[in-house]
Amino acid sequence: MKIAFLTRFYEPVIGAGSLRITSFVKFLSKNKNYKIDVITEFPNYPAGIIDEKYKGKFISIEEHDNVKIHRLYCYSSPKGNFITRVLNEISFFFSSFFYVIKFRGHDFLIISSPPFVLLFNLFWMKIFHTRPKIIVDIRDLHPDTAIEPGYLKNKLLIKILYKIEKLVYKYADCIFTVTNTLKHRILKKIRLNSQKIFVLSNGADLDYFYNRGDKNSLREKLGWNKDKFIVLYTGSLSIMDDMQILIEAANLLKNQSDIQFIIMGHGYLKQELVDLANEFNLDNVIFLDNSYRKRLAEMLSAADIGFVNKIDLELTRGHLPVKMFEYCACNLPFIACLDGETKDFIEKYNIGFYSPPGDYKKLAEKILYLKNNKDLIKKDNRYYEVIEKYYSREIIANKLKDILESLDR
């Protein structure tokens, strides 16, 4: 079976999109009867800097066993604003637009979205009546992610984008998405056979994410204070993550000298969060960059509580953030300020703690309560067992394999 993935994000890029496609490829490629191609851009996210080895090139091809990675030119900039992001996405779309025809003899082409613009390749392949069945992997609904937060307000453009979105769903041979809520939202947008849409959740790769042992020993290796109650956030720092709530909570708790907040991540709002922490004169908040991600499993094993958050929108209530699965795999209890699927996850498996979205006072109260009642966050194996049974990347990749083989009959 020949499978091609078209994705903006792939290893060594970090982030939910990269982790998802990279794990699919990792586990599918164990079957040597599969020939897998990955069409992706030169790695540059999130810093916006392309490695010197790609400078001056349009294409770079790497091959590992039965996996071939095709890295294509894209515009990038360390400025990291809305305009540079759009230019990056459009440039990669044009780089891939003609290149993807090379894979017209494959059995499947799986297009990962966002970015929304990559989905236009579906029409291109259909026009030429190419062989591959086209699967769209919808990790987030576009254009909703631009409309609901208020980025996009032009009514004509919104109408056009919604029509294009419906055409994508109509002409795709199959649709993957990450939660039941997103599946139901797609079915509300267009009348489709529900059997055309499959839910392939995100999860954690248990080859990497597992508890790394004694917390005090890990803290010594990491240079963390053994006596602090550590609240850890890992991930993106964008408007969709609404991380101001954690800074506000830290401000309320700044007189609790034994509580430490550690924020590891990158995003175009990071400097605003640093500035806000400085404005509050907070010495209980530490910001780390993504260079620490190679020690992520150790960090999760050494912290006392993880933090999960998104801005409170109808769209985000359909999210199950990847970091939550990674926290669980390392047996790290977490607080989630997120309704919908995430709150349901907490209640279904009786793991983690819920705090109302957008309410930093309630969040501060919850953190203080858990610090004073450490028996509630005693690390046990319940968290890991949920991931091992339902949400390991290998289990999810095997579901993908079964779907592809059923479609190939």
| Percent of the chain predicted with pLDDT > 70 | 99
Edge-to-edge strands, sheet with 285-288: 285-288, 259-266, 229-236, 305-309, 334-337, 353-354
2-203+392-407: CATH class = alpha beta
93-136: per-residue pLDDT in tens?
A: 999 988 998 998 999 999 999 888 888 888 878 777 668 999 99
Highest mean pLDDT: which range of 141-145, 319-323, 405-409: 319-323
Q: How confident is the model at residue 109, as a pLDDT?
A: 95
Q: Residue 106's closest CA among 25, 4, 228, 242?
A: 4
Q: How confident is the model at residue 45, as a pLDDT?
A: 81
Across the range 286-300, mean pLDDT stands at 89
Going by pLDDT thresholds of 50, 70 and 90, the confidence category of residue 65 is confident
Q: Residue 38, SS3?
A: strand
CATH number listed for the domain at residues 215-389: 3.40.50.2000
Domain regions of the chain by residue span:
2-203+392-407, 215-389
C-alpha dist (Å) from residue 404 to 101, 197, 366: 21, 13, 44
Residue 387 pLDDT exceeds 90: yes
Q: How confident is the model at residue 129, as a pLDDT?
A: 67
Burial 234-261 (b: 16+ CB within 10 A, else e): bbbbbebbbbbbbbbbbbbbbebeebbb
Residue 147 pLDDT exceeds 80: yes
Across the range 377-397, mean pLDDT stands at 94
Mean pLDDT (the chain) is 93
Residue 230 pLDDT exceeds 80: yes
Q: Residue 242, SS3?
A: coil
Query: Concatenated DSSP letters for 148-213?
Result: TTTS---HHHHHHHHHHHHHHHHH-SEEEESSHHHHHHHHHHS---GGGEEE----B-TTT-S--S
At 134, phi and psi to the nearest 5?
-95, 120
323-356: per-residue pLDDT in tens?
A: 999 999 999 999 999 999 999 999 999 999 999 9
41-45, 124-128, 369-373, 401-405: segment of lowest average pLDDT: 124-128
Answer with the residue of higher pLDDT: 38 or 97: 38
Residue 290 pLDDT exceeds 80: no
Residue 204 pairs in a beta bridge with 392
Q: Residue 337's closest CA among 311, 318, 314?
A: 311
Q: Does 2-203+392-407 match 215-389 in CATH topology?
A: yes
